[in-house]
Structure 1
Amino acid sequence: MTGIDTADGGATDSDAPGGDATGSDASAERRGAPDAATATYVFAVCRQLDPAVLGGLAGLAAGFPVRGLRFGPLAAVVQDVPAAEFSEDAWQQRLSDRAELEHCARAHHEVVTAAAACGPTAPLALATLYRGDERARQALEADTDRFTAVLARIEDHAEWGVKVYLPTPFPTSSATAPAPPLPQGGRAPRGAGRAYLERKRGLHQAREDRHDRALQTAEDIDAALSRLATAARRLRPHSPEMTGEKHRLQILNATYLVTSVCEKRLRDAVAGLRHRTGAEVELSGPWVPYSFVGEV
């Protein structure tokens, strides 16, 4: 969803001070593109901002510099963008194109990451727009207390992503074999049907046992890593159809808010869990804490 502000002065970005890269819920009815030649796109909010870190960033609109916009004690990272190219309809088309969506998300993330070099930074949702600097300043100032609380919460923290995989068992010949054919005369050998059903029951029980072990492994890993984190979020695991990896099954997809002093302990814990569980544990980060800026 976009964050274009409305004609009566309201804004459609979320009532939370930040959000993930997928967007936010609207707080008022959107009414199309701004009337001015440019709109103000807001990437993030921070306490302090060195203009030098923004130099050379392309942002989302070529020819318009990424810059800071002060509001009260805080600063927003913003960019002028052509209003016609960032209208409601234009954004819907842009976000429905996977390649274009990825381009916008990467550009947004690049700016947020650069700003985070100056200190704690709260990313705003992708497509947060206002009809000029004054409208942006008014809306952001109204949420100053929440931004301040979020920045205090994430200071000296980073987000780390963890994905855990187990090998996907290949079906055995007995798992895929049909029921034994009837011999000539139409009667199966005594006990053949019972043996077939027992094999089927055994395979079903084995699948259930593997499922239970996978769930327990995911719970154990999440519990161990959560103990090192200030906050944690469990996300929906990706299916093999989504990942395109048929040979392994994702059993945990989670993200953790971790202080900088615990980074080594986190890495060591992941290495230990790999060895202890035999699972593939993928650790990514450190990231700007996108997943934890909307919880205050």
Structure 2
Amino acid sequence: MTECGAETSDGGALYVFAVCGDPDPVSFADLPGVAPGEPLRALRFGELTAIVQTVRAADFTEDAWQARMADRQELERYARAHHHVVSAAAACCPTVPLPLATLYHGEERALEALLGETERFRTALERTAGHAEWGVKVYASDAPADPPAPEPADPPAPEPAAPTHRPEATAPGARPAPGAGLAYLERKRGVQARRERRHEDALRVAETVDAAFLTVAAAGRRLRLHAAEPPGKGGAQVLNATYLVRAHRAAELEELTRTLRADTGARIEISGPWVPYSFVGEV
């Protein structure tokens, strides 16, 4: 959250969703925002406009917000409401989305803070105008590195022959045949080496995909990899990235994805277009 401490809990606060150039109020007039019953409105500051909503400060104290974040359904409800407003604004004009729960104690405080960020907002709007964000994920195959070697079949038992003398008893704890342990270790090393080669191949595919997308995108960012999926569910993730792409190149991006899937054989997931959340905080 930006501000609103416990000392403001009895008053109102201003929730800021996004900053735009000149949004059409009709585009978000019917949205409930995060405080149903309170209308969304445009707040002009200099040459720019913020989309805001008056909310109860008591609902956004640090304790109240932490409790809300601990409630998955409640947090998702606020996140969806926030995203719907940002998306509606972005559909009509270039938009800089603000983080979830950006609040100020009153309109005057909000105007002061927003005016102080005017240059950053203007640069972000210029950078992202006409662009959308696309997510790309690449997964390594989860096929086994090497099929387990079949156990050698026992040789057929020879026909018993009439003993000519009493056989010696087999000593307990007899040692395995010479070289058996070494052969086992060599097999294990081979499996590990093949596993490492497959991982290196997957990383090279990730680099190939990333380089290819950067030929189409205006900018790209690598994100933290997700945890490995359970065996049989799709393999380990080797690339989690997001790209800023001009709207008119969206079809080119999707065609590139199909080509990379065919050329690399990798599982490549693409999602979008999204409001460019990932590319407005770097300016």
Q: Given the two structures, how large is their TM-score scaled by the length of structure 1?
A: 0.84
Please give the secondary structure, in 1, of the residue aligned with 2:32: coil
Is residue 2:261 matched to residue 1:262?
no
| Structure 1 partner of 2:140 | 166
| Structure 2 partner of 1:147 | 121
8 Å CA contact 1:4–1:127 kept in 2: the answer is: no
How far apart, in 2, do the equivalents of 1:154 and 1:244 lie?
Answer: 39
Is residue 2:262 matched to residue 1:288?
no
The runs of at least 4 aligned residues of structure 1 exceeding 3 Å deviation read 170-177, 243-247
CA 1:245/1:43 → structure 2, altered by over 3 Å: closer, same or farther? Answer: farther
Is residue 2:180 matched to residue 1:192?
yes
CA 1:141/1:36 → structure 2, altered by over 3 Å: closer, same or farther? Answer: farther
Cα-Cα RMSD: 2.1
Q: Deviations over 1:153-192 (max 9, x none)?
A: 1011110001112321247673899xxxxx9533011211
Please give the secondary structure, in 2, of the residue aligned with 1:134: helix
Displacement of 1:248 in angstroms is 2.1
8 Å CA contact 2:145–2:195 kept in 1: the answer is: no
Which runs of 5 or more structure 1 residues have no equivalent in the other structure? 6-30, 178-182
Displacement of 1:240 in angstroms is 2.5
CA 1:66/1:208 → structure 2, altered by over 3 Å: closer, same or farther? Answer: same
Instruction: Find the partner of 2:64 among 82, 86, 90.
Output: 90
Q: Deviations over 1:101-140 (max 9, x none)?
A: 2221111111100011121100111111001112111110
CA 1:184/1:270 → structure 2, altered by over 3 Å: closer, same or farther? Answer: farther
How far apart, in 2, do the equivalents of 1:132 and 1:175 lie?
Answer: 71
How far apart, in 2, do the equivalents of 1:237 and 1:245 lie?
Answer: 18
Displacement of 1:65 in angstroms is 1.3
CA 1:175/1:141 → structure 2, altered by over 3 Å: closer, same or farther? Answer: farther
Amino acid corresponding to residue 250 of structure 1 in structure 2: Q
How far apart, in 2, do the equivalents of 1:87 and 1:148 lie?
Answer: 30
CA 1:92/1:175 → structure 2, altered by over 3 Å: closer, same or farther? Answer: farther
Instruction: Find the partner of 1:278 among 243, 265, 275.
Output: 265
Please give the secondary structure, in 2, of the residue aligned with 1:257: strand
| Structure 2 partner of 1:127 | 101
Please give the secondary structure, in 1, of the residue aligned with 2:271: strand
Displacement of 1:239 in angstroms is 1.4
Q: Deviations over 1:223-245 (max 9, x none)?
A: 1001111110001111135x897
8 Å CA contact 2:9–2:61 kept in 1: the answer is: no
Please give the secondary structure, in 1, of the residue aligned with 2:175: coil
Q: How does 1:107-256 map to 2 (within 5 A)?
A: 107-170=81-144, 174=148, 184-241=172-229, 246-256=233-243
Displacement of 1:272 in angstroms is 0.3
How far apart, in 2, do the equivalents of 1:127 and 1:213 lie?
Answer: 42
Instruction: Find the partner of 2:15 among 41, 66, 80.
Output: 41
How far apart, in 1, do the equivalents of 2:45 and 2:231 lie?
Answer: 45
Q: How does 1:59-74 map to 2 (within 5 A)?
A: 59-74=33-48
Identity of aligned residues (%): 53
How far apart, in 1, do the equivalents of 2:140 and 2:25 lie?
Answer: 46
How far apart, in 2, do the equivalents of 1:136 and 1:167 lie?
Answer: 50
How far apart, in 2, do the equivalents of 1:272 and 1:171 lie?
Answer: 26
CA 1:221/1:68 → structure 2, altered by over 3 Å: closer, same or farther? Answer: same
Please give the secondary structure, in 2, of the residue aligned with 1:240: coil
How far apart, in 2, do the equivalents of 1:175 and 1:217 lie?
Answer: 28
Amino acid corresponding to residue 227 of structure 1 in structure 2: T
Please give the secondary structure, in 2, of the residue aligned with 1:236: coil
Displacement of 1:98 in angstroms is 2.3
8 Å CA contact 2:38–2:54 kept in 1: the answer is: yes
| Structure 1 partner of 2:168 | none
Please give the secondary structure, in 1, of the residue aligned with 2:14: strand
CA 1:175/1:209 → structure 2, altered by over 3 Å: closer, same or farther? Answer: farther
Please give the secondary structure, in 1, of the residue aligned with 2:204: helix
How far apart, in 2, do the equivalents of 1:176 and 1:133 lie?
Answer: 74
| Structure 1 partner of 2:54 | 80
Aligned length: 264
